[in-house]
Chain A
């Protein structure tokens, strides 16, 4: 870390106000503002401390299991035809997704700040499990807010969090999904500002969270660059990742932002279809607004009321997106497309059948797009897709969608 980029770099953001272009910022109540500033100061101090990154790296290597492999999905490539498809296998991390990369960084920061209690929000439960895990590792009490709808559809992860010693609080406001869990976590934080650290799961929230989570997740793209260079001696042509809040995508994309030859494609959840009201495609169908501490693209009605998102994947079921993605969308550095529930389910089965990897429904959305894109490319071209989570947690949802009784 402690990177310094030139003025022409797309990696130099955010500015001192936490803005990426007009997106980002710190739109929180005054009660939280001093704490947000304290988190920012502590994070800057940690970055400047030569001991911090090596400590984090040691945990990532010996506990998380990094680097995660870069896998040439040869059978899948043959099956769909066209460009070579590589998977960045972040589903092999301890706890089964990329979420732990950032949880590990944030809990080390919480410890440096002397915080004694951790809270988090979770959608699919992957971030909740990763947070509960690092809390168990460091012996800190952990409270996870999870929408009641998600508690029901992600039962295995709820049990996992409880086994890890976390308290899981079902949230029943709104549609009882990720957005509402984040509201409730922010309310908890306001009431417990002095002793509590909020480990946010995605590249959203007030500054410095979008920057901090991005920095911790950028290990994904940095490893990919080195690994693909070893395997192919060059940069990929395209990087593809699924987008809910956007943390796994940002982690893969950020190290490639200045490599202008590399196409970067984020895949939002189109739910039942972009032209229905049941999707989670904030960039494709939303407009800029302010929610959860940052200015970004949001699904909202004409009166500025936030709309409920829908996706078969609980992790993508969020009406907003990280502010840096909003900026990358506006400057057109990253392309944002969408995949429906049905396309993701098909891709889920394709991956399982051809590669022996059960992906989470989140990266199944990315694969749904890869499946369309690869056949349009030449055989010597390369796509890297972030396989950011494993699908064990989703088998009940998938069985239900396929009409199978377990």
Chain B
């Protein structure tokens, strides 16, 4: 069983949902982001999403855009991102890691080589924002051959006629983009989620995580009440940005502030019994 499937099965047995915090690799620098990654499981992360920096993140709002820019300025490359995962795996073999990014850096690396290296580093799944079902054959074979889950995005605009196509190639879990918009902007209402999640459930047995617009512990709790997991990204980055100095360098509190936020989110997520 894959790490992702094992983790969701364990959480189901525990009767609770998953907290999936996000960090951008090498934001604001290699050491700080590595320390945040290392600290996340103990702070309550059930799965971890690592953003792969890209110059043109077209689905992301200003917060993630700037995180990517800081990361690239600090010298981040795809090789570095994979090395972070390898380093993490020397001390943690259970917490699933999902890479989220855009297609071009992967194409540039080479899709086959990328999937091989990612799996060897200990990556469990890939979320590739600009690879819709219509183009997924580009990666599907290599991902499968290396045991990587291709986690598909489902959006409010994905109607019932289209859901089977999107879900057909999905594995690991389903990532529900809860708003029509970019990351870090709007938040879906409880009513919107109460409509959307059962609609997707009719088409799949995979766990469903909700992302885009999940910021506070209360919103994370609402997300795991409606679905199986909550992804929190921009709010954690905003927390860290508040600790940076005028030049964008990490301060003494940068790691602690992010991990404290993760702890607060985890507490809220764990309080929801399913």
Contacts and interface: CB of A to CB of B under 8 A. Distances in A.
A30 interface: yes
A191 B59 CA distance: 10
A183 B53 CA distance: 15
Contacts of A183: 56-58
B159 A30 contact: no
A75 interface: no
B180 A193 contact: yes
A304 B78 contact: yes
Interface stretch (A6-14, A41-49, A250-258, A286-294): A286-294
A306 B162 contact: no
Interface in A352-392: none
Contacts, number: 118
A interface, how many residues as a size bin? 35 or more
A30 B158 contact: yes
B55 A27 contact: no
B135 interface: yes
A29 B58 contact: yes
B59 A31 contact: yes
B178 to A, nearest CB: 11
Contacts of B103: 27, 290
B237 interface: no
B interface, how many residues as a size bin? 35 or more
A398 interface: no
A27 B159 CA distance: 19
A31 B55 contact: no
A146 B180 CA distance: 23
B158 to A, nearest CB: 6
A364 to B, nearest CB: 29
Interface stretch (A225-233, A295-303, A338-346): A295-303
A130 B102 CA distance: 32
B8 interface: no
A302 B79 CA distance: 11
Nearest to B102: A290
A306 B166 contact: no
A33 B133 CA distance: 9
Contacts of A298: 104
Closest 8 CB pairs of A and B: A304-B108, A304-B105, A31-B155, A191-B181, A30-B153, A303-B77, A304-B104, A33-B132
Given A179-B56, A306-B56, 4 more contacts: A29-B58, A190-B182, A303-B108, A304-B109
